[in-house]
Amino acid sequence: MSKPILVETDVIKTPDGVLMPVYKDWEDWHGGYEVKMVYCTTIAPDTSKGPILHEKRRGLMTCIQGDVSVTCLVDGILRNFKLTDKAKKYALIIPKNMPNLITNHSADAEAIILNLPDRAWHPEDQDTQKFLSWEDFFEKQNACPVVENKG
């Protein structure tokens, strides 16, 4: 998989709130994606996290709370994927080796993101590169220019 997959998730109203299934192993949309870790992260109002690059693992993200989008570098183009749209919620599979930036567009509410990567974080194989901005990412990707051998 070399492109992100965005799919609307069910938001089922119950007598005491809502139920939002994020992943079911038997569904076809994720192409056999296997969850190896589950974690929650928060993002302050009007704040972005990233860009972040995972070279070895894919992510499956959804927004539990907030007005959130994820910007991914897809074939050299920054593409924006909304995880929330009014009452609708979406799950996004981000391919490995695809930098992404998560943005909370809410002016006054913290965002809560749930991520279900297909490879667990490990202290001996962290697989996380953090950048200050997209400019920082592009600069660091081009930091080692090719030197011609004039031999």
CATH number of the domain to which 20 belongs: 2.60.120.10
pLDDT category, 1, cuts 50, 70, 90?
Answer: low
Q: How many domains does the chain have?
A: 1
Q: Would the pTM of this model clear 0.85, i.e. be above it?
A: yes
- Is residue 134 one of the residues assigned to a domain? yes
- Is residue 149 one of the residues assigned to a domain? no
Distance CA 64, CA 73 (A): 23
Domain boundaries, position 21: 5-141
The string of pLDDT tens digits covering residues 70-126 is 999 998 889 999 999 778 999 999 999 999 999 999 999 999 999 999 999 888 888
- Is residue 129 one of the residues assigned to a domain? yes
Alpha helices by DSSP H, listed for the chain, are: 134-141
Residue given tokens 């959130």 in the structure block: 68
